[in-house]
Amino acid sequence: MGLAAGTVTQGSRGGRSPVSERAGAPPALAIARPVRGDPGEIETGIEYIGKKCDAGDSQQAETRRHFDVVAEGLRSQIQLDAEGVSAVDQRRDRFEQQVAEELAETRAAAVNERVERLESGRA
């Protein structure tokens, strides 16, 4: 006892409202009010809704897989970046140590030179 897709039904307030014209929608889903009547038509509507839910679950699973792939790629990139930062830190530490050693050597040489000058002037 359902209506065909594209028909117009009488609304509860007396106004006219268009019924869904969704392509491929079974007649049970293409009406503005609940279906009363043919159990086969109701069963067809239930199957249609089930298929739509399954399609939604499938799309959700695909989106989740895509997100997981993207997240794994980001993890890999972050790991590479962290290793690069660590390498730069080690190079900087070695450079600072080298500069400190050279500065100490330079200061020691300057002090030795002053001492030699003072000793040579007194001797």
The per-residue pLDDT for range 10-22, each reduced to its tens digit, is 444 444 444 444 4
pLDDT band per the 50, 70, 90 thresholds, residue 41: confident
Which pLDDT tens digit goes with each residue over 43-59?
777 787 877 777 778 88
Helix ranges, 7-38 (H): none
Q: Is the dihedral of CA 50, 51, 54, 55 positive or negative?
A: negative
Mean pLDDT, rounded, for 114-121 = 88
Question: What is the C-alpha to C-alpha distance for residues 15 and 35, in angstroms, rounded to an integer?
Answer: 19
Q: Is the pTM of this model over 0.85?
A: no
In the chain, where the domains are located = 63-122
Which residues touch 10 (CB under 8 Å, ≥6 apart)? 16
pLDDT band per the 50, 70, 90 thresholds, residue 103: very high
Lowest mean pLDDT among 6-10, 34-38, 86-90, 97-101: 6-10
Strand segments, DSSP code E, in 3-123 are: 8-10, 16-18
